[in-house]
Amino acid sequence: MSIYAIGDIQGCFDELLRLLDTISFNEQSDQLWFAGDLVNRGPKSLETLRFVKSLGDSAITVLGNHDLHLLAASCAPKIANKKDSLLPILEAPDRDELIDWLRHRPLFHFNEDFCLVHAGLPPQWDFKRTQKMALLAEQALRGPDYRAFLKQMYGNKPNIWSSNLKGVEKLRFIINCFTRMRYCDVNGRLDFVNSGPLGSQPKSLVPWFEAPKRKNADLRIIFGHWSALGYYEGPNCYAIDTGCLWGGQLTALKLGESVQRFSIDCPESKKPNKSYLAVAS
């Protein structure tokens, strides 16, 4: 079996199909790992969601910030804004089935060789704590009170890990790490302002994967979310959001002892702004 990790799609369904043709994906023998943000802003979020769901065990997807935004909008439609393209999903006859499927997706996935997250991990979390924190947030999203949690999910505080965090604040921090983080300071304090390429950040900030004394540095982590970073391969980390939505590329990594990259060029669906490719943080 071949495993391919695929970067943020955000509703670019036609490009996804082209990429799957490029890698000769076989649903019977291969597995796809999606790095989150299946939906929003691209032209075919509904088709993308239906397709990935239809793949069953041939596809694993972790939740991204745009996927969570869809879940929140399904509970409170006023949360959606003009930039969103979620209405076809929210008005679809199979809407409830799709939403229920999506909220049961994980925040963290792994096998014996690789880990998959949408955005990143704080430096204080080792593998066991990462598993525990993912499970805690997943239980909230899958539980009977998930609507109440989704309404309280948004916010930038707390922005640093503490074992004393409790309740909604703890869950919000967990969600922000898995789905929103890019830069942090040397103590692991999350920054939600800067989203540009490496070198554009203030000197006080580092990309999360370069935080000093990072307890998860031994994990081979694949992540998306950061289109301005582009494809990046560093010590035990692989960034695979290559800006398909913005006219960049859609990327798949074939996972093995070494990784093999496949990318296709994409037509521009959205106009890049001054922060290039800064998807909603």
Q: Per residue in 197-208, pLDDT tens?
A: 999 999 999 999
pLDDT at 82: 67
Which helix (H) or strand (E) covers residue 195, if one does? Answer: none
- Surface-to-core class of residue 83, CB atoms within 10 Å of its CB (0-12 exposed, 13-18 middle, 19+ buried): exposed
pLDDT at 1: 85
- Rounded distance between C-alpha atoms, residue 123 and residue 120, angstroms: 9
pLDDT at 78: 72
Q: Which residues contact 104 (CB under 8 A, 6 or more apart)?
A: 141, 142
Verdict on whether the full-model pTM lies above 0.75: yes
Q: CATH code for 2-276?
A: 3.60.21.10
Q: Which residues of the chain have pLDDT under 50?
A: 273-281
- Rounded distance between C-alpha atoms, residue 48 and residue 151, angstroms: 25
Residue/partner pairs of 212-217 with CB below 8 Å, 24 or more apart: 212/123, 212/186, 213/123, 214/121, 214/123, 215/123, 215/124, 215/125, 215/126, 215/129, 216/121, 216/123, 216/125, 216/126, 216/127, 216/130
Closest among 242, 253, 263, 231 to 114, alpha carbons compared? 253
pLDDT at 276: 36
pLDDT at 164: 97
Strand order in the sheet with 31-34: 59-61, 31-34, 3-6, 249-254, 260-265
- Rounded distance between C-alpha atoms, residue 177 and residue 156, angstroms: 11
pLDDT at 271: 60
pLDDT at 274: 36
Name 34's bridge partners. 6, 61
Look up tokens 């079996």; give the residue. 1
Look up tokens 């900030």; give the residue. 205
pLDDT at 106: 98
pLDDT at 76: 82
